[in-house]
Chains A and B, each alone.
Chain A
């Protein structure tokens, strides 16, 4: 212990190396499992590999290949449709449920929150395993339920029909994640200033006007957070379609192929880690671009 350390805010007699000791595991981890793989991924992306042994420099060859491969565009389209559906269908439902809960008394709030959140305990693989059966034609729970409700869909082959596979994925993710995003919206709504709402109501604002002019601006930070997290999560979708397709391929006509599925296929089915790393970088750039775009757009809205 060095007693002559300058007495800063930290107080008496503390070792200058103490914070570094606490941080040491992270620093080692970040160097070995973040910085190195990141640089390695950059290196790999410019090489052709065949198994973990041989590699040849190919310049931009991997990227050229990815950008000319129709499967990449199929994966990109599928993932984008899924992401847009997540934001446009799932988040409004989450917000609606959060608002219903926010106005309820606390005991009811706790019980409903628990129930609606519960699918999040179940990993995507287990959900995929369950829903592979739930979407069975004629016998599946979903097919029967849909038939009972609107008289259609009993015999639909959700998982074999290329037009219905992506909608099925969206329906499943709705079941899984509505409760998750609802928790965030609820936290945001609980911090909305109640006096502002009362003041608006006294001024004669109806509930729609209150919602647009008071609630929305106040929950905007958390809404932006949810939108960005949801986009990032959507672009990394893999486990769910993989399990739904029973680990065999990516559905008829690649209709359940996602970008990560495409990466997995190249890296671990084909064994070409170079192309996989290139796809990984492309995915990183896509996620970066969209996140920055979302931040910019929402911020610009803030200024005016």
Chain B
């Protein structure tokens, strides 16, 4: 699977809380962050856990402001996320 995002892209994480295993932490759902690094491609644990075919999928380090995730806080949190957890932020806004 090709990289859909580049460093500097603004992305929004999925708001869906799936019934199956996932590696998108609850606290980072539905939030806007910035891609800071492309980390290579790995099979998605959501698929592996359900024994579905799992093609390697790009993983990105995405940085969030604490205030975006929690409503306050001056720090940042960087979360490593599979591409299908993300969509381009401005597409949603438009």
A and B part of one assembly: no
